[in-house]
Amino acid sequence: MRAIKAISFDLDDTLWECYPAIERADQALMAFLHERCDVMKTQLTRESFYDLRASFIRRHPHLLGDVSLLRRGLLVELLQACDDHHTLAEEAYAFFYHARSQVDLYPDALPVLTALKEGYALAALTNGNADLGIIGIDHLFAEAHFATLDCPAKPEPDMFHRTCDALGIAPNELMHVGDNPETDVMGARNAGAVTVWINRTGMDWPDALEPADADITTLDELPAIVRQWGAYV
């Protein structure tokens, strides 16, 4: 068994719960837009915002591969009736992005990341776009890769291969930890990495998919899994 030299982590719903962070950020964004544009005060509601976002995604499905571009495009379209809407859209995106990165780490995340960093190169691989610096954990990661149109989202192998190339390791020397059976487990397996499924919510594994190499319910279980795969903690 080849020793693990690096461990990559999904972010949303692996290191923190995603939905509350996005929900808070969306609400803060709407308050920001109401304050900055009179038209938004009368036209923009929670329901209309989500309807407009769904419509934008239907018309620009390729942007699902880059959530930052998607959000920027949505804001430009949304704010067309406002003065200087391109500038306002960029300001609104910056406001949203900072708010979106206000996450509550799971209690097990920081202690386990800090401990594993002593023996391994850590990487963050995400289809999202949270700012690790704002969160305060960027110093723990040797590599961070985010889905863009040039770096396709998981389960495509690009992020995994870029991480291995940057760290100078073979794919089977990388262990990937994530919550999503398809994007994380299938993606990592297809890239040649060792796979760990973190199942915090007690969901059933999809029958159609080959199971992960290991599964855990909290990150506290991860160091033991790493040891089992020929590495050390």
User: What is the pTM assigned to this prediction?
Assistant: 0.94
Q: Is residue 179 part of a domain?
A: yes
Which residue, 70, 100, 130, sits at the end of a domain? 100
Stretch 19-25: mean pLDDT = 96
Domain containing 32 — which CATH number?
1.20.120.1600
Which residues does 196 contact at the CB level (< 8 Å), separation at least 6? 175, 176, 177, 178, 212, 213, 214, 215, 216, 222, 225
Same domain, 125 and 196: yes
pLDDT, tens only, 163-180: 999 999 999 999 999 999
Same domain, 125 and 224: yes
DSSP 83-146: TTHHHHHHHHHHHHHHHHT---B-TTHHHHHHHHHTTSEEEEEESS---HHHHT-GGG-SEEEE
Same domain, 73 and 145: no
Same domain, 11 and 112: yes
Cα 96 to the center of its chain, rounded Å: 16
pLDDT, tens only, 127-153: 999 999 999 999 999 999 999 999 999
Q: Is residue 29 part of a domain?
A: yes
Which residue, 100, 126, 154, sits at the end of a domain? 100
pLDDT, tens only, 40-65: 999 999 999 999 999 999 999 999 99
Same domain, 161 and 175: yes
Same domain, 111 and 224: yes
pLDDT at residue 3 is higher than 90: no
Radius of gyration of the chain (CA): 19
Nearest to 120 by CA among 73, 82, 167, 76: 167
Alpha-carbon separation of residue 59 from 9, 25, 52, 67, 92 (angstroms): 31, 23, 11, 15, 22
Q: What domain range includes position 154?
A: 6-17+104-228
Domain containing 136 — which CATH number?
3.40.50.1000
Same domain, 150 and 77: no
Pairing of strands 214-216, 174-178: unpaired
Same domain, 152 and 213: yes
Q: Is residue 1 part of a domain?
A: no
Q: Is residue 63 part of a domain?
A: yes
Same domain, 109 and 210: yes
Same domain, 111 and 188: yes
- CB of 92 closer than 8 Å to CB of 75: yes
Number of domains, the chain: 2
